[in-house]
Amino acid sequence: MSNRRQSVRDRVALGIARRYRRERNFRLLGLAAVLVGLSFLAFFFLTLIGNGYTAFLQTHIRLDVELSASLIDPDGELDPQTIGRANYQGLIQNALRARFPEVASRNELRELFALVSPGAAFELRDSVLGNPDLIGETMDLWLVADDDVDMLIKGHIDRSAEESQRRISDPQLAWIEALEADGRIERQFNHRFFTAGDSRDPEMSGIRSAITGSFLMLLVTLALSFPLGVATAIYLEEFAPKNRWTDLIEVNINNLAAVPSIVFGLLGLALFINLFGLPRSAPLVGGLVLTLMTLPVVIIAGRAALMSVPPSIREAALGVGASKMQMILHHVMPLALPGMLTGTIIGMARALGESAPLLMIGMVAFIVDVPESPLDPATALPVQVYLWADSPERAFVERTSAAILVLLAFLLAMNAAAILLRKRFERNW
Amino acid sequence: MNRRFAWFSACVCFLGTVSLIQLTQAQAVRDYISIVGSSTVYPFSTVVAERFGRTTAFKTPKIESTGSGGGFKLFCSGVGVQSPDITNSSRRVSQSEIDECARNGVREVVEVKIGYDGIVLANVKGAPSYELTREHIFLALAKNVPDSGGNSLVPNPYRSWAEIDPALPDMSIEVLGPPPTSGTRDAFVELVMEVGCEAFPAIESLADDARTAACHTLREDGAFIEAGENDNLIVQKLEANPTALGIFGYSFLDQNQDKVQGSFIDGVAPLFESIADGSYPVSRPLYSYVKTTHVGEIPGIEEFLAELTSDAAWGDFGYLTDRGLIPLPESERQMVLNAVQGLENVNLAQ
Amino acid sequence: MPSSTVLAVLLAMTLLAFVLGRRRSLARSGARFHSLPTYYGSYVAIWCAFPALAVFCLWQLAEPGFIRSQVIASLPAEVLALPEAELGLLYNDIRNLVEGNFVTAEPSEEVVAAAARYESLSRISDLGLALTVLLLGTATLGWAFRRVNPAFRARNRVEKTMQRLLMVASTVAIFTTIGIFFSVLFEAFRFFQQVSPLEFMFGLSWSPQTAIRPDQIGSSGAFGAVPLFAGTLLISGIAMVVAVPVGLMSAIYLSEYANRRVRAVAKPMLEVLAGIPTVVYGYFAALTVGPLLRQFGEGFGLDVSSESALGAGLVMGIMIIPFVSSLSDDVINAVPQELRDGSFGLGATRSETIRKVVLPAALPGIVSSVLLAASRAIGETMIVVMAAGLAANLTANPFEAVTTVTVQIVTLLVGDQEFDSAKTLAAFALGLLLFLTTLLLNIVALGVVRRYREQYE
């Protein structure tokens, strides 16, 4: 008898080294899996930051611009209309000519004037309109450089390349180098990227209208999908009788999670725009479509979370006399909430990064003005990324990466909020 | 915890209700121009819209990139604030679309031909450059080609450019191009493949239907790769793959001169000047269509058209040419201008 | 009073109603009330808010049409003779004037008059709305308040209402499905008039090279959807091969091995992977992974297409890792600790416990998370648009280029062809077929999951 017991123990002892080795391997495998995921994430971020960080800087050229009263406000009445109509482009061109007096031929002048962005004139106009006292003075101004100049300064255009193979001509290069030697070219923080709407001049473009559009859309989506999703999950998991009708709903929901997002766009087009007569390109419609798209994700996660609350909790609550609704709201829900939040966050993250359904409801659009209400025309951040990625201008490449970085920053912020929430409520059985 | 949760969900529910009510309140009031249509015209149309928004008191028009077909569908859906005022197209409007428009009450439409867009075949710098004829391209890309005797059609046997013409580089045929739903593809087939196939008696002798099918069908065995509409992506794929050629719009070649080189077609290089004077054979016109009934009702349409047809925009040195649009000849510009100012109805017979 | 103010006042009234109802049940402390004070508060609040909100919504719904008909009726007869669509434009003009927006021409007299009428009407309507809603709210509040007495079963009423609300919420999913079905049905039907459904469903060749204009004579056009579905399966299959092991092992590691700090950081970091815009993944797949695989293949003498299914599938797999890992992690975490303790007590190592005890217990949840990930892979569009190309090859070779249903839907919908051509309509038919296919798959999956579902305690 004791002999036999000995042998079992021996067998166990013999196996132990192998089992521990397996244990270690399993653990390493898990760690490797996490590291694979994280290293891809790190890789994406590093690539994006590498491509995109330069977009947060913008090349400026310092010029002495004479705001001559005779050109801006000949009557001296400070009438905003007259001031607004003045030829600011001309003022900047005069400043360039004053800096390079040797340039005379028409074609050369065209090239010289192309160094400064066409948007600089509009900014000059706005600052003069905002402060008419400036008229008559000579200002030492940092003006936005054209995108080609910007690309050259940032090294995306090769200076040593043949003239025919770059968008900066030899004389332009000479002028730029002269300005550089003067310390009149500088890279400054690109505030326009955050304060301007879309623009076809890369140096004037920004993401503010797209961010506002995305924000309005997510607001609608969150306000609708979270309560609806949680309510549906509770009903299906706790109240619904198990019959064909609820089977139908369940299959339905799983199916909706698999429907490609562009089909939701078709639904949005048919339902909200054609039937309800809501305007195209409105964040409200976008939010509604994204709600329908996110809802299954929230419901499925919500049900899984409810399912994972142990029956003992329910039975204990019912046992001390709670009604079914009280049991759910007071005891089950708090325990299921972290899981529900996880689902909602994943759903919202998907909604934030989604562009395909927005195609059908008119949100793939050129929007300069910042939307003020959920009914104004708007676009979304991922759509802006998509549009910029499709633009011919080289300078949009870095802006695309920068816009993605901003999108990811929002995502990280959302997730950070979720961590805090989850940390407070998570429980291990 | 549970009470806080109850309050939280109550607030969220309330927000939801408010949003729903906002929905029912949605009323169509519009004080901006709405433009839809082709993604090829989009880069040009948006530049005009931005200038227009900056220099006038009107709001900046909203421009959607929907594709030409989708644009016409929206445009022809009716008159009124819900429907767009202008649609852009990379091809001319078809009679069936005009009919559809008329059925929905859109009877008067002004056609604005805004310029030309060159279509180029390009590969990465550093790889050998190609001097092609349209017959070469036809032989390389058609699904069925005349056999060596020149008699019957056989499935395209060519795998390398040198097999077509020993003067061409000995590189495998690999061309990235637009899908069959694209106007660029349509123009390419009409301007290159159709002309290219005329040189072969075996095809010329076929009946009409069979001949068109032979001329228009591109091969599907991997030598022609449908690469989607994103021309930037094609340029980048060319960089990653030195053997491949890509078909895309001239403006992308213009912006990426340091990365890709355009192939000669029929002895002409794709340059701004050669496309403008018509010696480069592959270019197609771009259009905008304007709803006459909306002019004067939606604020700013007349002014927008004036900006679009101003010399500063579409002229020989206008800002649109900086973006790669090839301007119309002076005389044609004048004709279009007259049609726009007189709000003349589109006439497909012209 | 603008409608938002009305709503704000109504909200305040609802809060007041809650407090009043609760107070009333507390104030009579001698009596033994059927329900807790909160339920009386909620009961009064519900009665205060819901009827008023319903009226508010109906009013808002009816107001624009009413004002419009009134304003248009007041216009001169010659204007009324205009067709409906132009009246609509004129009405837009009037409203632009009212809103102080930029109006094109100098407004005519009747437009100015109509605008004035519009303004006065909407002022009256707003006032009427505010009065009605607030009076109704007060009245129902008072009525419900008076019903608060010890014998009144407030809890049952409130819970019944809540349960009904929950049920209504669950029907939204049904309506969405019905909506999707009908929004693609008609166009799909028109497509099937041009192309036979049998050819569409079982055809082995997809090549929509028909003419995009009617004045061209069509070249070859084949609308067989099988290669598209095969391509979809191939790419999502590759994605699942990447995502399921990595996701599941991550979930196991994070929930069973990692300490709280690592877990609190790593889990949300992994979730970020799901949030990266798919456009970015698309670029990555097309420009980095595709060429890399091609070079790699050349090294082994394989012919790898630069638009290979493998590249798109791998990258898509990375994208859906969090769908597997995050939800599985939650489920594994929810397996009762007693099960683990029991297993440890018998001398099992951690990994044995996980494989033999925890995973079987968590299996239904894991399966549903995998299904969710698979759904996402099937419905994914942008990655495949950029990385997998559009060539519809019927092949199981992962090194060749394939296309997917979603890619074709997008390409067909945004194309330049005529909008009533078979090509555009094919997108709707594809949408319908995809919808029905996934429905079938889900019905099967539901049966399977239900059979193996167990609840541990």
Q: Are residues A142 and A276 in the same domain?
A: no
Helix (H, G, I), strand (E, B) or coil at A48: helix
A 359-388 near B (Cβ less than 8 A): 362, 364-369, 374-375, 377, 387
Work out the mean pLDDT of chain B and round it to a whole number: 83
Going by pLDDT thresholds of 50, 70 and 90, the confidence category of residue B3 is: low
Q: Which of C105, C207, C305 minimises the CB distance to B222?
A: C305
Report chain C residues whose CB lies below 8 A from the CB of A40. 273, 318
Question: Which range, of A194-203, C80-89, C446-455, averages the lowest pLDDT?
Answer: C446-455
- Asked if the Cβ–Cβ distance from B323 to A392 is below 8 Å, we say yes
Interface size between A and C, measured as CB pairs under 8 A: 292
Can you give the pLDDT at residue A223?
87
Beta bridge partner(s), residue B262 = B122
Mutate to test the interface with B, among A280, A284, A313, A401 (most CBs of B within 10 A): A280
A33 contacts C438? CB cut-off 8 A? no
Inter-chain contacts counted by CB atoms under 8 A, chains A and B: 132
Mean pLDDT, chain C, rounded, equals 82
Query: Is pLDDT at C83 greater than 50 in this prediction?
Result: yes
For residues A133 and A240, membership in a common domain is answered with no
Same domain (yes/no): A225, A357: yes
CA distance A223 to chain B (A): 5
Instruction: Identify the domain containing residue A121 by its residue range.
Output: 58-188
Q: How many CB pairs under 8 A join B and C?
A: 204
User: Do B118-283 and B28-117+284-341 fall under one CATH topology?
Assistant: yes
B49 neighbourhood in chain A, CB within 8 Å: 366, 368
Q: Does the distance separating the beta carbons of B231 and A118 come in below 8 Å?
A: no
Cross-chain residue pair C368–A300, CB shorter than 8 Å: yes
A contacts of B257 (beta carbons < 8 Å): 164-167
C15: phi then psi, degrees, rounded to nearest 5: -60, -45
- Looking at the structure, tell me whether residues A225 and A123 fall in a common domain: no
Q: Quick one: which H or E segment has residue C207?
A: strand C206-208
Contact C419 B31 (CB under 8 A): no
Q: Do B50 and A200 touch (CB under 8 A)?
A: yes
B105 vs C83, C207, C415: nearest CB: C83
Which residues of chain A lie closer than 8 angstroms to C278, CB-CB?
Answer: 353, 355
Q: Answer yes or no: is A420 within a domain.
A: yes
Q: Inter-chain contact A227–B65, Cβ cutoff 8 Å?
A: no
One-letter amino acid of C326: S
Is A203 part of any domain? no
For B105, the closest of C85, C419, C420 (CB atoms) is C85
Q: Mean per-residue pLDDT for C75-103?
A: 72
| pLDDT reported for residue B21 | 54
**Residue tagged 């793939």 (tokens):** A364
Pair (A248, A112) in one structural domain? no
Among the partner-chain residues A165, A279, A365, the one whose CB lies closest to the CB of B257 is A165
Chain A closest CA to B348's CA: distance in Å?
A: 29
Nearest CB to B43 within list A167, A368, A391: A391
Chain CA centroid to CA C447, Å:
24
CATH number for A286:
1.10.3720.10
A248–C174 C-beta distance less than 8 A: yes
The stretch B141-169 carries a mean pLDDT of 84
Fold of B28-117+284-341: D-Maltodextrin-Binding Protein; domain 2 (3.40.190)
Residue in C416, C420, C425 to test binding to B, most B beta-carbons within 10 Å = C416
Residue C183 three-state SS: helix
Residue B197: other Cβ atoms inside 10 A: 24
Reply yes or no on whether the pLDDT at B2 is more than 60.
Answer: no
Nearest CA in chain C to B238: C287
What was the pLDDT predicted at C400?
A: 81
Domain-embedded: residue A233 = yes
Give the three-class secondary structure for A139.
strand
pLDDT for position C205: 80
Q: Do C446 and A310 touch (CB under 8 A)?
A: no
Nearest CA in chain C to B40: C416
Structure-token match 């959807």, residue found: C225
Considering only CB atoms, C415 lies closest to which of B24, B58, B182, namely B182
pLDDT reading at C31 higher than 80: no
Q: Supply the pLDDT for residue A267.
A: 87
Strands B34-37 and B86-89, by their bridges, are parallel
Nearest to B300 among C11, C104, C385 (CB): C104
pLDDT at C218 over 50: no
Structural domains in chain C, CATH included, are 3-152 (no CATH), 199-452 (1.10.3720.10)
**Does the structure show a pLDDT above 50 at C217?**
no
- B262 neighbourhood in chain A, CB within 8 Å: none
pLDDT of residue B114: 92
Cβ contact (<8 Å) for A325 and C375?
no
pLDDT for residue B26? 46
Taking an 8 Å cut-off on Cβ atoms, the answer to whether A329 and B82 are in contact is no
* CB-nearest partner of A254 from C176, C354, C442: C442
Q: What is the pLDDT of residue C342?
A: 93
Question: How much is the ipTM here?
Answer: 0.81
Q: Give residue C210's pLDDT.
A: 63
Percent of chain B with pLDDT over 90: 17
Closest CA to B187 of B270, B272, B268, B247: B247
- Residues making up chain A, counted from first to last: 429
Q: Are residues A256 and A362 in the same domain?
A: yes
Rounded mean pLDDT, C291-307 = 80
pLDDT at B206 over 80: no
Q: Which residues of C touch A314 (CB under 8 A)?
A: none
CA C430 – CA A259 distance, rounded (Å):
12
Contact: A394, B22; criterion CB under 8 Å:
no
- Chain B residues within an 8 Å CB radius of C416: 38, 67-69, 89-91, 181-184, 186
The pair phi, psi for residue A241, each rounded to 5°, is -70, 150
Which whole number is the average pLDDT over B8-30?
56
Which residues of chain A neighbour C351 with C-beta distances below 8 Å? 22-23, 26-27
Res A289: pLDDT: 92
- Helix/strand/coil (H, E, C) string of chain B? CHHHHHHHHHHHHHHHHHHHHHHHHCCCCCCCCEEEECCCCHHHHHHHHHHHHHHCCCCCCEEECCCHHHHHHHHCCCCCCCCCCEEEECCCCCHHHHHHHHHCCCCCEEEEEEEEEEEEEEEEECECCCEECHHHHHHHHECEEECCCCCCEEECCCCEHHHHCCCCCCCECCEEECCCCCHHHHHHHHHHHHHHHCCCHHHHCCCHHHHHHHHHCECCCCCEEECCCCHHHHHHHHHHCCCCEEEEEHHHHHHCCCCEEECEECCECCCHHHHHCCCCCCEEEEEEEEEHHHECCECCHHHHHHHHCCHHHHCCCCHHHHCCCECCCHHHHHHHHHHHHCCCCCCCCC
Q: Closest chain C residue to B56 measured between Cα atoms?
A: C102
**How many CA atoms does the CB half-sphere of B13 hold within 13 Å?**
18
Question: Pick from A188, A221, A236: which residue ends a domain?
Answer: A188
* Chain B interface includes A167 (CB < 8 A): yes
Q: Among the three residues A123, A157, A188, which one is the final residue of a domain in this structure?
A: A188
Q: A226 and A168: one domain?
A: no
Q: What is the CATH number of domain B118-283?
A: 3.40.190.10
What are the boundaries of each domain within chain B? 28-117+284-341, 118-283
pLDDT at B1: 38
Query: Are B82 and A281 an interchain contact pair (Cβ–Cβ within 8 Å)?
Result: no
Question: For every one of its 429 residues, what pLDDT tens digit does chain A have, with 9 covering 90 and above?
Answer: 456 667 777 887 888 888 899 999 999 999 999 999 999 889 888 888 888 888 888 999 988 888 888 878 777 777 777 887 788 888 888 888 888 888 888 888 888 888 898 888 888 888 888 888 888 888 888 889 988 888 888 888 888 877 777 788 888 898 999 998 888 888 889 888 998 888 888 888 999 999 999 999 998 898 889 999 999 999 988 888 877 777 788 888 888 877 878 888 888 888 888 777 788 888 989 999 999 988 988 898 888 888 878 888 899 999 998 888 889 988 898 888 877 887 788 788 778 888 888 888 888 889 888 888 888 889 999 889 888 887 888 888 888 889 888 888 887 887 777 777 667 766 655
Are residue A162 and residue A217 in the same domain, yes or no? no
- Note whether C92 contacts B81, CB cutoff 8 Å: yes
| Amino acid (one-letter) located at B147 | D
User: Do A300 and A269 fall into the same domain?
Assistant: yes
Q: Give the C-alpha separation, B30 to A212, whole Å.
A: 20
Question: End of a domain among A123, A158, A188?
Answer: A188
Task: Confirm or reject contact between A391 and chain B (CB < 8 A).
Answer: yes
Q: What percent of chain C has pLDDT over 70?
A: 92
pLDDT band at B19 (very low <50, low <70, confident <90, very high): low
The residue-averaged pLDDT of B94-103 equals 84
Contacts of A222 in chain B (CB under 8 A): 12
Residue A7 lies in a domain: no
Same domain, A255 and A178: no
pTM summary value: 0.83
Confidence of residue C252 (pLDDT cuts 50, 70, 90): very high
Q: How many domains does chain A have?
A: 2
Contact partners for chain C, using 3 or more CB pairs closer than 8 A, are A, B
